[in-house]
Amino acid sequence: MRRKDLKNLEFHSNPKGCLYLQEIDALIGVVTKLMTYLSPDTFLGYFVFDGQPNLGDASKIFSFELRDGACNGSIDYVSMTNDSIDAILEKKPESLLNGINWVGEQRVLVLRTTCGRFVAGFNCKPTRVYAYIDYVLLGLALAMSKIGIGDIVLQRSVNMLMHNIPDSVKNFVDNVFDKNVLPEVVAWRVWRVNALLLPNFFS
């Protein structure tokens, strides 16, 4: 999955939620590359990533449809995923598990941070392999830990999930960040050098 193949890509800088455009760009790059690595023939689906600051309202950080869109006949992956995200956001943070939460048959990733929480959802065809959806969401969590290395709460959140992340996903994300094989990650590293004084910067 190449980034230029994505449809309806939206992303918004969210400094109150501790993410800047350069960080968001790197996350999108890692997620799309991981999708291709895990399942190169998956082209129908929808991904969304939201942030919610402490005592604040949630807002979308980024979302996109895969190359062939987000509808499979009568199945609308956008509505399905957004409904599961909304159901999670309506719950009190203390009632949620850190990591993969079930909403009906849908899976939603919840990560606690110093600033609040991040929530991500993903649905795709084929949906027969739930492990694929889980691994993409857990790969995002691992990428978040790389970008938010200075956030102690986030680091603890991701460390709690490490036993659920397969070695193939760990090695993939480590390789992306350690060897600078993605242009988005390279650009993030260059930006990061001068970003340490930005408000709410957490890496």
DSSP secondary structure of 95-157:
GS-SEEEEETTEEEEEEE-SSEEEEEEEEEE--S-HHHHHHHHHHHHHHHHHHTTT-HHHHHH
Would you say residue 15 has pLDDT above 60? no
pLDDT attached to residue 201: 43
Residue 10 β-bridge partners: 63
Kindly indicate the confidence band of residue 203, based on its pLDDT and cuts at 50, 70 and 90. very low
- pLDDT for 110-150, tens place per residue? 999 988 899 999 998 865 567 899 999 999 999 999 999 88
Rounded to whole angstroms, the Cα distance separating 171 from 176 reads 9
Q: What value does the mean pLDDT of the chain take?
A: 86
Would you say residue 28 has pLDDT above 60? yes
